[in-house]
Amino acid sequence: MIRQLVPESVCLACRGCCRFGEPDSCWSPALLSEEVEMLVRKNIPPLLITKEKRVRLLPASQEALYLCPFLEGAKNACKIYAFRPFECQLYPFLLNRAGKDVYLALDTQCPYAEEHAHDAALREYARALAGLLMQAPLIGSLRTNLHLIQAYPGVLDLHQLKI
């Protein structure tokens, strides 16, 4: 499990994550193959996982939004936090494709990331995270799950990765 950079109190106060503008948003979490299997073993209904190995977003009842089915709205908390997907653990960092290159990138739409994007502590965390991603077994898992790497609009590329 990846150590969470953003303090829990900040995440729980934010109403940005886990909410999407369209049902097939590029921001919806992509799942590693082993995560799909694990979620099914934990009795997560398979219909909550798309054939593209993404979390299937559900329409919000009162808003023009789509929600992660694992978001417990009243508490603004994740129902599967203890075994949340790799991309959720990684956030506000993303694996961004820019042409033929792959970067560890930062989503500056995250209020915490926007405020701390140039802080030495965030930059050091990102450097360490990039190093971790390049080590076995993570690099092998990323190479067999290339659907996790995609072009995200408006992110800040931090470290180029050799995947």
Residue 1, in any domain of the structure? no
pLDDT, position 15: 86
- 63: pLDDT strictly greater than 80: no
The percentage of residues in the chain with a pLDDT greater than 70, rounded to a whole number, is 100
CA 129, CA 65: separation in Å to the nearest integer?
31
Residue 33, in any domain of the structure? yes
Least confident range from 5-14, 29-38, 115-124, 131-140: namely 5-14
Q: Model-level pTM? A: 0.94
pLDDT, position 134: 97
Number of structural domains the chain divides into: 2
Final residue belonging to a domain, choices 34, 66, 83: 83
141 band by pLDDT with thresholds 50, 70 and 90 = very high
Give the pLDDT mean for 49-77: 92
How many CB atoms sit inside 10 A of residue 54's CB?
21
Give the pLDDT mean for 142-153: 96
Residue 3, in any domain of the structure? no
The percentage of residues in the chain with a pLDDT greater than 90, rounded to a whole number, is 88
Residue 139, in any domain of the structure? yes
Same domain, 61 and 128: no
CA 15, CA 129: separation in Å to the nearest integer?
25
Same domain, 142 and 99: yes
Structural domain containing residue 58:
8-83
